[in-house]
Each structure stands twice: as C-alpha cells, then as structure tokens.
Structure 1
Amino acid sequence: MSTDRPTSLVLVAGLPRAGTDTLATELSRAEPGTVVVHHDLREISHGVVRRRLRHGSHDMTTVLELAHGCVSCTLREDLLPLLRKLIAADGVRRIVVHLDPSLEPEAVCWALDHVVVGDSTITDLSTVDGVLTVVDESSWLADATGDAELAERGLGASPDDDRSIAQVAVGQVEFADVVLLTGAAPSTWDAARTGAVLDRLAPAAPRARLSTVDASTLLGRVPEFARRGRIDDAHGPLLRGEPPLEPDCGVAVTVFRDRRPFHPERLHQSIDALLDGVVRTRGRMWVASQPDVALWLESAGGGLRVGHAGAWLAAVSEDAWRHADPERVAKASLDWDPYYGDRIQELVIVSHLAEPEQITATLRAALLTDDELAEGETAWRGYPDPFGSWHQDPCDTRESDDDPLSTNITDRTGRDDA
C-alpha cells in the first residue's frame, strides 16, 4: 500500500454498547477510508465470536468458531491477522477497533505492540492515534465502585473470567486519551463526584459530551502528550498526568510510601482497606517473605489483582542492570537506600468513601515492626505467605521466565482470594 502516513488505529472502549456503537459509527462517517472492526464476545464461552466489519456501504457479520473460547485466542487468531490485512488494503486510511464492553484497551494495545503477525507487530505497520472511552454518567460511578462480576451482566470474556465490572470500568477510563460522556447522572451531586473521580483516574484526558462532539475533529482533542496505546512500565510513575491531590466531593488521592517490607499475613488481613470505600489502588510493594521480587497491586471497587512485577534491582546482577529501563535505573539510583536498595512501598489510592488517614494507618500497621526487622531476611522468608502462588492464563505467553526483570501481572480477583 502506498500512503503518505501509516494507517491510523483508533480504539473505542466503554461499557455502554449503544454509546460505543454510536461513536464507532460517527468515526466511520467522519473520514473516507475508515473501516470499523467489532468482535462481539457475548457467546465466547461457547466458542463463538461474531465479527462485524464495516467499510463504507459494506457491512458484513461473520460467525467465528474458536477452538478455545478466550480473548487471547480471538486476538491472535482473528483480530491481529485481520488488522494486518486491512493495513495492507488499498483505500484503508483509518481502522476503528470497536472493543466489546468486556475488554480493557490496555490488554489489546499490548497485543498490538508485542504479538508478531507474520514478520511484524501491528504497531510496526500502523499508528495508534487514540483510545476513546465512552462513560455512561447514569451508571458509571456505581459500576466503578461496586463488586459485581462481569458474568452477572453476561459480559464475561471467557468461562472462567471472574473480573469485576469495576475493574473493567476503571481500566477503560484510566487508559483513555479522550473520555466521551453519555447519559445523565442521577443527581447533580453524583455528576460532581463522577467528575472528581474521572479527574483523578484520567487527569490528562479531555472530556466531552458524545451527543455534541464532532467526530471529524475528535482526534484533534487527544493531547500531544497522551499515551496513545503506550503501556506503562510497572516501575514507572504512578501519578500519571498529575491528578489533583486536594479532596473534591469526598474523592481523595492517598500516596503511601515506606521503606519497610509488609508482613505478608498482616497485609493480607488489611486488604479490605484498599477495597472498602476505594475506587482504585495501583502500585508496587514488597513483602518480607519475597524480598527479591516486586509485587504489583491494583484494585477497583471490590476487585483485586496482585501479580509479579519483576525483580528489584537490588536483587539482580550488574548485567541485568544494563538491560533495565534507563528511567527505572535513574529513579533507583536517586532513591537508593543503603539497606533496602530500591525496595519500597509505593501505592496510590483513590477513595470516595474511605478516610485517607485510616487507609494510611492500616497499611502502616501491616509493615514489619522493629523486632521483626531485626530478625532478618532468613526469618522473613519463612513467614506464611498468602501472596506466594499465582494463577496464569495458559493462553497468555507475554512474559519470559528467563528474564529476571520481566513483569508478570496475574489476576487474583475478589476479597476471598486476595
């Protein structure tokens, strides 16, 4: 294909099916040569995915039968090969990837950037120009702070998908370059609180009403510094976009930092402090029983994920340092502690009902005491550890066990499986 610029990719995400369909349709009309791709995953648990492809007057739905009913297989076996074909097709200038409500755009962007199709990745051949997320003000705040699972709404992306609605709702907003509002909040107060939460989850993302936006100029609203599908490193900055730190409508940001390790059992017992009255928790932590590895924790509403975020630089060889991200090395060097190295607790909590002081006090109580610190690493490794085993999707091959700095974020969802 001969073009002056790479094919543009635009991702449309959000829980309201009608809202995302409207946005995808408006984008298809805004620029000639736009193709809209949508995979309907409502029947994926039965191994069936319905793929709709729209290009001008062409509108075709194809029923796909997959050997394994999962999102990873849908991406690898159909979406990514299809995108490669469309990128190479004459007359295709923009591809709108209209995501199923159950999908978080970050996972899709990871696949676009890392999964090789033929001899290249999709982002080798195209450019992600924006991730646009639709938010229904009438229900989003309740969704983002609840504990209902996707399956309860028929949105599960696989038979064993136990993610919560909140995890998806928050993840879709947090990764957005632009947020489009639809619906009406139940009250002025709810509208203000929703806005305060959005300000702290996606502070750099402009917001507009979907009903009034001009689709032809929509991508022009994407800020110059927007991530545009770029995945943040697990050891990167946690306050992306500089969210407001002052409370608003009861919504507050708490930054928890401490050098001491967590006691694994006391941390496990304190997990509710990161769930009750909390919209979102994200960050790195280290547990005394696993002093060599950083753990990544993120919660949304009543859902929780804890995973392996690679080794601390203090625990790897000099050769591994040379292969580490330069920004991470710079941060570790500036913040190096003679005893702990780069090991540190760094959590950012967005709360809407919980008191920040209580969150901080609960987390501090889970740290090792002076006497426990004096016992040393040999004793710590013997502590009973509720965080010591991980579930891994067999379809997810994104990480290499041979890389000591590799990040392997795995799901452990719900209060009883923290």
Structure 2
Amino acid sequence: MTELVVLCGTEPDGVERTITRMRELDPGVVVLHHDLRDLGRGVVHRRLRDAGRDERTVLELAHGCVSCTIREDVLPTLAALAGTVDRVVLHLDPRLEPEPVCWALGAVVFEPPGGGEACTATDLVDLRGVVAVLDPDHWLDDATGDATLPERGLSTLPDDERTVAQLAVGQAEFADVLVLTHAVGPGGADRTAAVLDRLCPTAPRLLAGRADHRVFCDGLDPASRRGVPGGVHDPLLRGTPPLDADSGVRTLLFSARRPFHPDRLHDAIDSLLDGVVRARGRVWLATRPGAVLWVESAGGGMRIGHAGDWLAGAAEQ
C-alpha cells in the first residue's frame, strides 16, 4: 500500500526544510498541502509536489470549513494517489492539530473517484504516523501561554477560540516523530527537553536538515501511536515517561474515588492551569454520576466535555 505520513508544525521554515530533507531521502515522495488562510472566504489553496511537478490549485468550497476541505478534496486526492506512488506526505496547514485529521482519515467513509465501494482513506493507504516540527527555543513559551490563535495571526476564523498552547501541545503530543528546527544549547532547552520527555516519550527527535528515514515513521517504538486517536478509557500515559522530577518538571497523578462537586471543580480550575503544561484525564461529577467528562488543558486553555459512560455503569444498562 501507499504509505502516508502526516506532517504538522507552526514554523514554516522548519517545515519546509523538513520537506526538502524528505524529498532528498525519497525523490519520489508526493507532498500534498492545503493552505487554509482564506478558508473564511470559502477558498483553499492546494499544492501538490513530486519529483516532476509542482501544481498549485485554488479550490472553492461551498461550505468553507476544515471538515469540508478534508471530505471534499483531501480524501479524494489520497484515493487517487493510492497505489500509484510509494509514499505521500500530507502537509497540514499550521493551524491544524493532527489528531482530528487522523480521526477523519480513519473514520470518514467516502466514495473514491472513479467508482468503487465506499471506504475510509486508511483502507486505501497505510497511515505510518505523524511528524511534528517545532522550534525548541520558543515551543515551551507557546505551550504555557494563553494567547489565542487569532491574536498570534494563526487563524482568521471568527469562531476559533483555541490558544496557541493547545495547538503547540496538540501537535507535539500526538506526534510519532519530533523534528527540531535547530540544535539546542544549555539553559531553557533542558526544561523543554524535560517536558517533551514526559509529553511524548516514544517520539525520537531529529534535526530538520539532517533527519534520517525515521522522518517517514520507520523503525519506531512499538508503543508509538501511528496516527490512531485514543479512547476515553485508554491509559492516560503512553510509553514509559520519566516519573522523577527534572529541571523543575514533573508528572503529577491525581486520583480519587469520590466524585467532584461541580463547585469544587470550578474553584480548582485556576490551580489546574497554574504552571501546568498539560492536564488530561477523566472527571466524575456528583451531579452526573453515569457520565465520563473528559478534561484537558494546555497552557491557559482548557476543554471539558462529555466523553461517554463509565464502564461499570454501562454493564448495568
């Protein structure tokens, strides 16, 4: 099957250097990119590159949104490439987190161009994993801040209230391989390394200009996610992250058999965000005893939502 690698990152120069290195390692690789800077106007800029072409196309979408872009162009394009090339790199727009994109690749059913049975993209291509590019000098500041994407100029959509921290952490945490834009020196880099050791312990770190074939997600740790989203009842820690403190960074587990009172949870939110890079977990509320609430935070941004039912309660229904 044609291999598919998802590439993400908010550093354009670093991402482009990574693509250049990928094309050096595999001259036949196809790079597919959708630029969403004009998505609010219903326009997407698509670029398709391989050894012999560099095609740029402007697409008009009737319902300008990320899901429309994936459903109406990304999936059909991948289907058309499947079986005709050895490897495709799906280069995501800087404002996209890889997990929902990978979910769509494996869950959204569509009819391939030219006929054939309805299927998902991962029925046609082998999703090898996710590569995230980051700048080690600035990533930790981004991952602990509270600036929003519109404030940073990363989004022009009126309803996009995500923070830069949610984007930075979401890209790194879901990655199977991390590509650093440059070698790091002493000082703050030690703290960044300590955070990454705990956030994505199975992901090797490569340099953008000197990456090896692991940049195609080859030879990875067996515990690597490889683009598969997690479930609400999955383990909260992947791999074997360090449990001891390093450079002032540590992992803290909170567990209780008593449910939260909603007011107690509300009063604790500020503490959950203070000095915390990432919080993830399941919450049991006294007022909703059968429901699993999922909470996750990154820097100054937090999400809480319904994620299913508790397994013990499901057995009684």
User: Do these two structures clear the TM 0.5 threshold for a shared fold by scoring above it?
Assistant: yes
Change (3 A) 1:311 1:248: same
Q: How many angstroms apart in 2 are the aligned matches of 1:191 and 1:127?
A: 35
Counterpart mapping for 1:220-239 below 5 A = 220-239=218-237
Counterpart mapping for 1:164-313 below 5 A = 164-183=163-182, 188-215=186-213, 219-313=217-311
Paired letter, 2:258: R
Q: In the alignment, is the contact (CA less than 8 A) between 2:183 and 2:207 conserved in 1?
A: no
Paired letter, 2:69: T
Is residue 72 from structure 1 mapped to residue 67 from structure 2 by the alignment? yes
Secondary structure at the aligned position of 2:82 is classed as helix
Is residue 106 from structure 1 mapped to residue 105 from structure 2 by the alignment? no
Q: How many angstroms apart in 2 are the aligned matches of 1:177 and 1:157?
A: 29
Deviation at 1:191, TM superposition (A): 0.4
Question: Which of 43, 48, 57 is the aligned partner of 1:53?
Answer: 48
Q: In the alignment, is the contact (CA less than 8 A) between 1:30 and 1:216 conserved in 2?
A: no
More relative contact order, 1 or 2 (CA 8 Å, 6+ apart) = 2
Deviation at 1:141, TM superposition (A): 0.7
Deviation at 1:274, TM superposition (A): 1.3
Q: How many angstroms apart in 2 are the aligned matches of 1:198 and 1:313?
A: 31
Deviation at 1:217, TM superposition (A): 6.9
Counterpart mapping for 1:296-335 below 5 A = 296-317=294-315
User: Identity over the aligned pairs, expressed in percent?
Assistant: 55
Paired letter, 1:232: G
* Higher CA-based Rg: 1
Change (3 A) 1:244 1:217: closer
Q: How many angstroms apart in 2 are the aligned matches of 1:281 and 1:217?
A: 28
Q: How many angstroms apart in 2 are the aligned matches of 1:109 and 1:95?
A: 14
Question: Which of 17, 32, 51 is the aligned partner of 1:37?
Answer: 32
Query: Which string of whole-angstrom CA distances, capped at 9 and with x for unpartnered residues, describes residues 328-373 of structure 1?
Result: xxxxxxxxxxxxxxxxxxxxxxxxxxxxxxxxxxxxxxxxxxxxxx
Q: How many angstroms apart in 2 are the aligned matches of 1:256 and 1:157?
A: 37
Deviation at 1:222, TM superposition (A): 2.4
Secondary structure at the aligned position of 1:143 is classed as helix
Q: In the alignment, is the contact (CA less than 8 A) between 1:131 and 1:176 conserved in 2?
A: yes
Paired letter, 1:136: D
Secondary structure at the aligned position of 1:22 is classed as helix
Deviation at 1:188, TM superposition (A): 2.1
Secondary structure at the aligned position of 1:292 is classed as strand
Q: How many angstroms apart in 2 are the aligned matches of 1:60 and 1:313?
A: 50
Deviation at 1:67, TM superposition (A): 2.1
Deviation at 1:215, TM superposition (A): 4.8
Is residue 95 from structure 1 mapped to residue 94 from structure 2 by the alignment? no
Secondary structure at the aligned position of 2:187 is classed as helix
Query: Which string of whole-angstrom CA distances, capped at 9 and with x for unpartnered residues, describes residues 1-34 of structure 1?
Result: xxxxx11001111111111122123223322432
Q: In the alignment, is the contact (CA less than 8 A) between 2:21 and 2:210 conserved in 1?
A: no
Change (3 A) 1:28 1:157: farther
**Structure 1 unmatched ranges of 5 or more:** 1-5, 321-418
Q: How many angstroms apart in 2 are the aligned matches of 1:39 and 1:172?
A: 17
With 221-230 and 299-308 compared, the bigger mean Cα shift is at 221-230
Query: Which string of whole-angstrom CA distances, capped at 9 and with x for unpartnered residues, describes residues 133-165 of structure 1?
Result: 111012101000000111112222733111111
Deviation at 1:301, TM superposition (A): 0.2
Paired letter, 1:236: D
Q: How many angstroms apart in 1 are the aligned matches of 2:260 and 2:238?
A: 25
Deviation at 1:122, TM superposition (A): 0.7
Q: How many angstroms apart in 1 are the aligned matches of 2:175 and 2:215?
A: 17
Change (3 A) 1:179 1:157: farther
Query: Which string of whole-angstrom CA distances, capped at 9 and with x for unpartnered residues, describes residues 170-202 of structure 1?
Result: 0111111111111466x6221000000000100
Is residue 12 from structure 1 mapped to residue 7 from structure 2 by the alignment? yes
Counterpart mapping for 1:110-149 below 5 A = 110-118=103-111, 119-149=118-148
Change (3 A) 1:196 1:157: farther
Query: Which string of whole-angstrom CA distances, capped at 9 and with x for unpartnered residues, describes residues 357-400 of structure 1?
Result: xxxxxxxxxxxxxxxxxxxxxxxxxxxxxxxxxxxxxxxxxxxx
**Structure 2 unmatched ranges of 5 or more:** 112-117
Q: How many angstroms apart in 2 are the aligned matches of 1:67 and 1:29?
A: 38
Query: Which string of whole-angstrom CA distances, capped at 9 and with x for unpartnered residues, describes residues 217-260 of structure 1?
Result: 75335223311111111110011112111111111100001110
Q: How many angstroms apart in 2 are the aligned matches of 1:154 and 1:51?
A: 20
Q: How many angstroms apart in 1 are the aligned matches of 2:276 and 2:175?
A: 20
Query: Which string of whole-angstrom CA distances, capped at 9 and with x for unpartnered residues, describes residues 68-110 of structure 1?
Result: 222111111111111111114x3x1111001111111111110
Change (3 A) 1:38 1:217: closer
Aligned to 1:163: 162
Q: In the alignment, is the contact (CA less than 8 A) between 2:61 and 2:68 conserved in 1?
A: yes
Q: In the alignment, is the contact (CA less than 8 A) between 1:10 and 1:96 conserved in 2?
A: yes
